Amino acid sequence: MTASLPTAFSPIETGAPLRARAPSSLRPPAWLLALDAWMARPRSAQAVVIGLSLYLLVAANWALWLELARIGGAPSVYMRSVGAMAVMIGFGTVALFSFTAWTRWMKPLWFALVLVSAIAQHYMLTYHVVIDPTMAANAMQTDMHETRDLLSWRLLFNVLLVSVLPAWWLLRVRVLPMRAWGQIWRNAALLVAALAVGIAATAAMSREVAPLMRNHVTLRYMMNPLASVYSAGTAAIRPLFKRSRKLIPITAGAALGPSYAAQVRPPLFVMVVGETARSDHFALNGYARDTTPELAAREVLSWRNVHSCGTNTLASVPCMFSSLGKKGYEGRKDDYENLLDVAQAAGLAVLWIDNQAGCKGVCDRVPNTSAAVGLSAEAKGKLCDGDECLDDVMLKNIDQRIAALPAERRQRGVLLVMHQMGSHGPSYAKRSSAETKRFVPECKTNVLADCSHGELMNAYDNSIAHTDRFLARTIDWLKTQSPHFDTGLLYMSDHGESLGEYGLFLHGLPYNIAPEVQKHVPMVAWFDDGLKTREHLSTACLQKDREAELTHDNLYHTLLGVLDIKTPTYQPTLDAFAHCKVASN
């Protein structure tokens, strides 16, 4: 007869306390048995959500507590703020969780809320971001390789640190069954009580809380899990209620201008949508490090005082190509056609090549492709790491992609848009090749707190240096096309990046409180002689104008002007090049 091996615990069943089955040397400590027995006690669903709310208040709000300490300075000041905010968050979380206080089948939802809180706290502590609706919407549209860049062992450790204890409790606790009507009135009573106490306490402490929240808007998006749930819900629901999704046409009257009537060569214009590039890290704009030697050698034009429409790709890219401008775009109730629709309606061939997480709806109605589509195995081996590629990949097969566009449109002209991976963080080291890593040592991890400031700056500057090389190679390719086309290029980044200034990293803060570095972006242009002659552009005039105050609002009208597209939506006052067009002889 085979003897069974001794085990330290009996099989774990929800609600069954741990019992010793083994010799005393293998028994768990008495305190562990006592804790497990306490966790296994039967409790009402209301008691469970109150317990989870109190736990998350303490364990998942350290980013907020530390920020309050930083703002307050002395403990006598910030401890009052901590107390006031703790009351608001505690009772607010109880009120939120009261909607879930039903049966044991709510355990997966409760644990999901714990996980969301733990993940949100990790990113708030690690990158000093806040979980506002824009950040939540941006996260929802992030693709797999961008998500992979944000994963780390520290993330796993921080999530486990917060979630293991409540996971153990939720596994062991027995949720007492209750009749439906009894559950309803108890949940309603819990909701009303939590709201009443929370509102009363907030009113009583308004002298403390109101100025704090008014002067430090970010605090309201650091209250965990309230901010995470609110922002995710707002990002998901807002489009359903605020906008009808009706597409408003703006292409009526779009036509090619007089330069096309007797053209010798059609125009070929490349618009490069940059990613996460800061204007103050371009040597062209006065940066001490030589991050842009190749562009300087090609005598490009660079504007120093350009600002973005948003602080993240989801907000900025559609706004850049909109005729509405920042204010009109953000206040719109419907969707509108954009610059690419107008160019296509006028008769040009349009193509969007993407090396990013999609065009955010901008290219939905024009030919578009991912840069990696049709790439040879050899090219993938040189330029790609898994499903993520360096921006040079957009120049592969470029001639074949253009040749595949309708011939009658190509004969009129081509507008080519390239959407970069650029300097997307936090894995800046992955955004440059070995040949462009001239600043060493560089930060090679996505946990930026593990790197020195110098290593972080080196990695980011290397990514700018790689963009410099990519743009230079694009210009060199355009030069080879000059016998057949009048060529030009315009580069503009979608937003900037925080690299530790004020303790902030990455991007995506609400625009009105975001630092300048998240909004101040580079803009670079190059034209061959054929295009300058065709459009009567004075480069000397443009060179003198490099300090002009420009924004993403100018892009729509500037591209229409340089492509000589006539449309009722064009505003010459917003065309950055209009005043530098000289009259033809």
Instruction: Dump pLDDT digits (tens) for 388-407.
Output: 899 999 999 999 999 999 99
State the average pLDDT over residues 415-430: 93
Residue 510 — very low, low, confident or very high, per pLDDT cuts 50/70/90? confident
CA nearest to 415, candidates 556, 570, 293: 556
CA nearest to 500, candidates 543, 454, 445: 454
Is the pLDDT at 301 greater than 50, yes or no?
yes
Q: Do the strands 505-506 and 498-499 form a parallel or antiparallel pair, or are they unpaired? A: antiparallel
Predicted pLDDT at 286: 95
Predicted pLDDT at 8: 38
- Give whole-number Cα distances, 87 to 79, 157, 163, 261, in Å: 12, 28, 22, 71
Predicted pLDDT at 517: 96
Q: How many CB atoms lie within 10 A of CB 440?
A: 9
Residue 206 — very low, low, confident or very high, per pLDDT cuts 50/70/90? low
Predicted pLDDT at 214: 61
The CA distance from 119 to 221, in Å, is 14
Q: Over the stretch 60-95, which tens digit does the pLDDT of each residue have? A: 999 888 888 887 766 766 677 788 888 888 898 998
Q: Over the stretch 184-200, which tens digit does the pLDDT of each residue have? A: 888 899 999 998 988 88
Query: What's the whole-model pTM score?
Result: 0.73
Q: Do the strands 498-499 and 384-385 form a parallel or antiparallel pair, or are they unpaired? A: unpaired
Is the pLDDT at 5 greater than 50, yes or no?
no
The whole-chain average pLDDT of the chain stands at: 87
**Which has more confidence, 87 or 570?**
570
**Which has more confidence, 137 or 367?**
367
**Which has more confidence, 526 or 45?**
526
The CATH 3.40.720.10 portion of the chain extends over: 247-580
State the average pLDDT over residues 466-489: 97
Q: Which of 40-54, 452-466, 556-570 has the lowest mean pLDDT?
A: 40-54
Q: Which of 6-20, 55-69, 331-345 has the lowest mean pLDDT?
A: 6-20
Most confident by average pLDDT, 18-27, 188-197, 236-245, 296-305? 296-305
Residue 274 — very low, low, confident or very high, per pLDDT cuts 50/70/90? very high
**Which has more confidence, 32 or 527?**
527
Q: How many CB atoms lie within 10 A of CB 144?
A: 11
Q: Which of 212-221, 335-344, 350-359 has the lowest mean pLDDT?
A: 212-221
- Kind plus residue range of the DSSP H or E element containing 418: strand 414-419
Domain 247-580 CATH assignment equals 3.40.720.10: yes
The CA distance from 470 to 564, in Å, is 27
Residues of the chain with pLDDT > 70, as a percent, come to 90
Q: Over the stretch 136-175, which tens digit does the pLDDT of each residue have? A: 777 766 666 666 777 788 889 999 999 999 998 898 888 8
State the average pLDDT over residues 508-516: 87
Most confident by average pLDDT, 3-7, 94-98, 370-374, 574-578? 574-578
